[in-house]
Chains A and B, each alone.
Chain A
Amino acid sequence: MTRLLLKRPTLVAAAAVVAAALVIATPWFVAEGDMRLMIEIFAVFAFAQGWNFLAGYVGIMSFGQQLFIGLGAYCLFLASNWTGLNPFLILPLAFVFSAGFAAMISPFIFRLRDAYLAISIWVIAEIVRSFISQRDWLGSVSGLPLVATREMARSVVATSTFYYAGALALISVFGLYYLSISRLGLALAAVRDNEETASAIGINVWWTRFFGFVLGSGFTGLAGAVYYMSVFHVEPGGAFDPNWMVIMLFIVIIGGVGTIEGPIIGTAIYFLFRAWFAGTGNLYLMMLGAAAVLVMLISPSGIWGIVKSKLGIDLLGARRASGLEASSKKTRTAS
C-alpha cells in the first residue's frame, strides 16, 4: 500500500502524458462539429473545476463566478478588436485581467463570510453586467463580435480553440492534482479546514485565501475567454448569466465537492442530461436543481464520495479531509 502511494505522482504524470497525447491527436480523427461540442464540454468542465477549486480547496463559496467568465471573454474580445492582434496569442491577458479584478475586489468581499461572501460576488457580477449593458463602446446589450477570427481559416480557428480548451481540461485535472499536493495546496487545505490552527502553524491565512481566490478566478476568466472564442460573439446577458452558476454548482455537487474526479462525472452527467432533456426547457433546469437538493440530503460528498467510501477507490486522492489522510500525504510529498 505504501509503495503504491509513493508511486502515485509518477502514475499521474504518465496519465497526464497519455491524456495530452490524446488531446493533440483528436483533431485528426474528429469532425469539426463534434470538436465544437468537445470545446464546450472542456470549457464547462473548466468552469466547474474552477468553482470546485474555490469551494472545495480554498474554502470560498462564490455565487458569482459568471463574473469572471464574462470578464475574461470581454477582455479578450476588446483587446483583440482594438489592437487587431491574434486572439490566440493574447489569451493569457484574459487570465491576468480576471485575476487582477479578483485581487482588486478581495480586500472588500473577504470581510464577509460564507453565503454573504458568495452573494457579494454575485452583486458585483450584476453591477458589471448592467455597466456593460449601458455602454455603447462595450457593445451594450447586443454584445461584441470577435473580428480577428473572421479572416482566419475556419479549420485553423477550430483546431486552435480545441487545443486551448483541451489544455484547460488537462490543467483542471492534472494541474489541480499537482497543486493540491504542493506546499500551497497543503496551506490551502489547512486554511479551509481550520483557520485558527493554520495560522498557529505559521500559515498566513488571509494571503493564502487571497492567492487561492485570485488563481481560481483567473482560471475561470481564461476558460470564459476560450468558451466565447469558440462562439465568436459575447453579450452581457449571456456572459454574466447566473445560470452559469447553476451549471457549475450542479456539476460539482453531483460529482463531489473537493475532489478532482467528481466534476468529471458531474460534467458527463450534465451533458447527458442536456442531450436527453434539452427540448423540455425549464423542466431540465428544475431537474438540475432537484438533483442538487437530493445529493445534499443523501450524500453531501456527491457521487464520487459514495464511490470512494463504498469501493475504496481513490484515483487522484488529492482530498485531505481527515487528519490521518493529511499526515500520510504530507510525508509523501516530503519524501
Chain B
Amino acid sequence: MLALIYTGMGLPPVVAGLFVYVLFSRAGPFGSLGWLFSMRAMIVAQTMLATPLIAGITMGSITSVDPDLRPQMHALGATPWQAVSTIALEARFGILLSVIAGFGAIISEVGAVMLVGGNIEGRTRVLTTAIVLETRRGHFALALALGVILLGLSFVTNSIIMLGQGRGRWRP
C-alpha cells in the first residue's frame, strides 16, 4: 500500500491521463459511460493525481506526531476517537500542506486533462490548456494574462484554505 502511494506521488500526469483515456475510450472497460472528452474524465484523472499526494503527505504528518501522545491522551480520559482526532489536529499543518499540494498539482496540470478532456472550447478547456493553446497560436499576451489569473486563483484558494484551517476546528 505504502509503495503504491509513493509511486502515485511521482506518477507522471501524462501516464495518468493515458490510463484514464484507455479506461474510458470506446473499447475500454468504461467506454459505455461515454465520459471521454468530458469534465467527468478530467475529474477522474485529476483525482488519480491528487489522491496519492494528499494521502502520502497526510500519512507522513500523522506518523511524525509523537507516538507517546496517544497513550497520554487516553490516560487523560480521551476515547479512542477523541485521541485520533487530537492526533489529526496535532498534524493539522501537514494535512493542510497535503491539501494545498494536491490542489497545486491539479490546478497546474496540463497533460492529463488535455489527453482525456480534449481541450474543447466551452466544455473541457481549462486555464492551463488554454495557456498552451494561446502560446502555440502566438497570443503571448493572452497566455500571460491567463497565467496571472491562474496564479491569482491559486493564491486566493490557498489563502481561504489556510484561513479556514485557523477557524472552526474542534479543539479538545
User: Do A and B come from the same complex?
Assistant: no
